[in-house]
Structure 1
Amino acid sequence: MKSPSATLLAEVRTFRQNHPDVRYVDLIALDIPGHFYGKRYPVEMLEKVAAGSPLKLPQNAVLLGAQGGLFKIGDYCFNDGDPDANRRLVPGTLKPVSWESQPLGQMLITSDGTAAPIEFEPREVLAKVLERLQHKGIHPVVAFELEFYLFDKKLDNGLPQFARDPLSDDADDQPNLHIERLSRFSEVLDDMAQTAKQQGIDITVITAEIGPGQFEINFGHCDDGLRAADWAALFCRSTRGVALKHGYRASFMAKPYLQFPGSGMHVHVSLYDAAGNNLLAAHQQQPLRHAVAGCLELLPHCMPIFAPNHNALRRLGGTVNAATRASWGFEDRDACVRIPESDPRNLRIEHRLASADANPYLVLAAILAGLEHGLEAKREPITPLNEDRNSGNDFPVEMLDAVRAMQQQPVVRDKLGAEFVDVYCENKRQDHLAFQQEIHAREYRWFL
């Protein structure tokens, strides 16, 4: 068996042989708001890192706000000297970048698996949850679904414009689910799909959604939760790049239009034991009910993860299939937690609350924490929507309320890590306050 460094070195050398024109590789990781940060490395230096040379980036890069600024969070950022922290290369993620004007590569990096992981790094938070579940004999299988909008490349005074239909050059301003939209935008969609596959992402179904210029991409079910979240993160990056290459702007913004549906991140999760038995299907599906109850109990306390910004909170309850309360149901898309019809082998939950611009590592970590809590507590869930359309528990829809609910919940602090919860909540609080500092033109119209 090859050592990790030997495997990585072979990966880098194979990449260089297959892509001799690539001179630089972007080493990237996801920060708390869900943006990629990193460094552009000469490919020959990447060989040294793969062979074991240290790879260090500032620890506090993980703490960047939505606009890239640093907030004072405890002693981080301004009282800690801005120290470096070790990162490592994620095997299997070195891929060519096809949407840039010059040949380029990219590769994921992370602090998880290093001697001193960053407790609040999103990938490390998920890695710890998955490791704990594995020690309990629980093996998740995960599939993400992501919705997004296509817009015209040019903004109109900062506002998005409808994507232009390439056949008629008219604005694609009609909400529909027609299959013809897939044909009209096939050139850019096909490029998105092929580019994703080049990145090692297992994408499956492409759907034209209800909103004008809105689409959904489904990913294959994956028995590695970290890899599944990697796919979701990398797909957002490649899709934005491909869209720009074709003269569009792709966005995973949760609610770009008030009058049309928002974009969500739906996550399918099933749980298996080491022998491959579906844990949720045992004992007449009683563990499924317990898992649902745990998800619903923690959901109101994880809202800053599922709806991570002011715009994401706008999506909730306004239009089709966006829940206003923590609810569940069989084959019910109005529920936060939907149980799709399936045979016992594939029995799973579909968590539908998160916005498309949420951090996939943290979304999955929060969902798994809820499932784990439910299996431990063994409580019965509330009545499903199939039996009572008014069933459901309230959750906060204002960011500061949501942050307080998350920071004070002992189970969430235990399952996701107290240090992470404190850092994350303060990051969201500071982002929210910074957002409020700008006076909008509407305020002058109303109050001047």
Structure 2
Amino acid sequence: MKSHSSTLLAEVRTFRQNHPDVRYVDLIALDIPGHFYGKRYPIEMLEKVAAGSPLKLPQNAVLLGVQGGLFKIGDYCFNDGDPDANRRLVPGTLKPVSWESQPLGQMLITSDDTEAPIEFEPREVLAKVLERLHHKGIHPVVAFELEFYLFDKKLADGLPQFARDPLSDDADDQPNLHIERLSRFSDVLDDMAQTAKAQGIDITVITAEIGPGQFEINFGHLDDGLRAADWAALFCRSTRGVALKHGYRASFMAKPYLQYPGSGMHVHVSLYDAAGNNLLAAHQQQPLRHAVAGCLELLPHCMPIFSPNHNAFRRLGGTVNAATRASWGFEDRDACVRIPESDPRNLRIEHRLASADANPYLVLAAILVGLEHGLEAKREPIAPLNDDRSSGTDFPVEMLDAVRAMQHQAVLRDKLGAEFVDVYCENKRQDHLAFQQEIHAREYRWFL
């Protein structure tokens, strides 16, 4: 612990030397819906925390709903006295914030690896899954891909407007994959990429997607699953900030337009042993088939994680490359689980079902549990789409059905933690019910 503190202290002191104008640092963590919460610390106090002073925040901040409210979940929030819980600084994440009007820093915090981790904190859930896999000699390598839309900064009666083409000042309202869109929006996209790199994120490929104003960013592969999820979370935060600085609004909302494709979170995962051998490629790729079968078996029970809100369910089906059933296939983007063409060393799955606004820690945890379950159960998967275009199993397409499918699933309760599953399902149930507590103008048009 002493060496750990000395490393953190050196990181803070180096940051202060390199950024003498920064007076405050945001200490941030991701809650269940995938929003950052935290506190703004004076840089002098951060140095004390790095040296070993306690860092405490309310435990129940993790339980916040989408709108920031607290729900009664068991005894949490209203019958537990709202206790504090210890957090720790995540080494290597203290970085400058360039999109604010004043010099600022930010640093990730977490309860994992503390004396009393919060069982339902998303980062802790993933940390436990990764630790268990490592003990079994399984070492994942992970890469995220995130799609998002650019909108005009100003909303029109609460509705998004197409981003303005900076060259013509016309609305970018034409769906296309043209490379020219990257050129027209190069200023903001380049700033997003450079800002992400300043956060320590390895940005690779940038793609203009099909939807108007829609783009995709790919990240490099990592043998540290926690860090890979950190990258995805931090990228969302920095991208929103950079977009506002350029006069745009960036959104990872799953389905902002009914008539255009939604935004997804694609996750590439390969599994290696301690010697660096690809476990999925062994024995004529039989473990790959078992892993796929496990993912597909658990997928219908993980829908509240992959589609975490009402809007995310709108993304499923009816548009390009959005599956309506749990399916798999080789080089097939209509499948939930795609097997990209690769050599045995790089053989992997690409999990394509999650929406872009899903919680990256929980998405990765759910995928890894599916792979782990498949390797243990050793079952054969259903036919791939390459052999049968109708192959697939149904999954829930409404939140309350999805919550019911998740809450009592034995494998998830065992491998993600029963306390997490109960808390998460109740959080999603309460968010969904809260969403229904507003009468839309359409109801008056239809029924008044």
TM-score by length of 1: 1.00
Aligned position for 2:322: 322
Output one character per residue of 1:189-242: Cα deviation in whole Å (capped at 9) or x when no partner: 000000000000001000000000000000000000000000000000000000
Aligned position for 2:276: 276
What does 1:45-444 align with in structure 2 at a 5 Å threshold? 45-444=45-444
Q: Partners of 2:233 and 2:92 in 1: how far apart?
A: 15
Q: Partners of 1:101 and 1:317 in 2: how far apart?
A: 41
Q: Partners of 1:216 and 1:17 in 2: how far apart?
A: 35
Q: Partners of 2:318 and 2:139 in 1: how far apart?
A: 35
Q: Partners of 1:215 and 1:387 in 2: how far apart?
A: 31
Output one character per residue of 1:285-325: Cα deviation in whole Å (capped at 9) or x when no partner: 00000000000000000000000000000000020000000
Output one character per residue of 1:94-144: Cα deviation in whole Å (capped at 9) or x when no partner: 000000000000000000000000000000000000000000000000000
SS in 2 for 1:3: helix
Output one character per residue of 1:145-168: Cα deviation in whole Å (capped at 9) or x when no partner: 000000000000000000000000
SS in 1 for 2:8: helix
Q: Partners of 2:196 and 2:305 in 1: how far apart?
A: 25
Q: Partners of 1:245 and 1:166 in 2: how far apart?
A: 14
SS in 2 for 1:366: helix
Q: Partners of 1:413 and 1:352 in 2: how far apart?
A: 23
Q: Partners of 2:386 and 2:108 in 1: how far apart?
A: 42
Output one character per residue of 1:381-421: Cα deviation in whole Å (capped at 9) or x when no partner: 00000000000000000100000000010001111000000
Output one character per residue of 1:81-101: Cα deviation in whole Å (capped at 9) or x when no partner: 000000000000000000000
| Structure 1 unmatched ranges of 5 or more | none
Structural RMSD (CA):
0.7
Output one character per residue of 1:250-272: Cα deviation in whole Å (capped at 9) or x when no partner: 00000000000000000000000
| Structure 2 unmatched ranges of 5 or more | none
SS in 1 for 2:113: coil
SS in 2 for 1:113: coil
Q: Partners of 2:97 and 2:432 in 1: how far apart?
A: 34
SS in 1 for 2:2: coil
Q: Partners of 2:28 and 2:170 in 1: how far apart?
A: 37
SS in 1 for 2:261: coil
Q: Partners of 1:402 and 1:19 in 2: how far apart?
A: 47
Q: CA deviation at 1:2?
A: 7.4
Q: Partners of 1:170 and 1:352 in 2: how far apart?
A: 33
Aligned position for 1:447: 447
SS in 2 for 1:430: helix
Q: Partners of 1:428 and 1:299 in 2: how far apart?
A: 17
Q: Partners of 1:251 and 1:304 in 2: how far apart?
A: 20
Percent same amino acid among aligned pairs? Answer: 95
Q: Partners of 1:398 and 1:26 in 2: how far apart?
A: 36
Equivalenced residues, count? 448
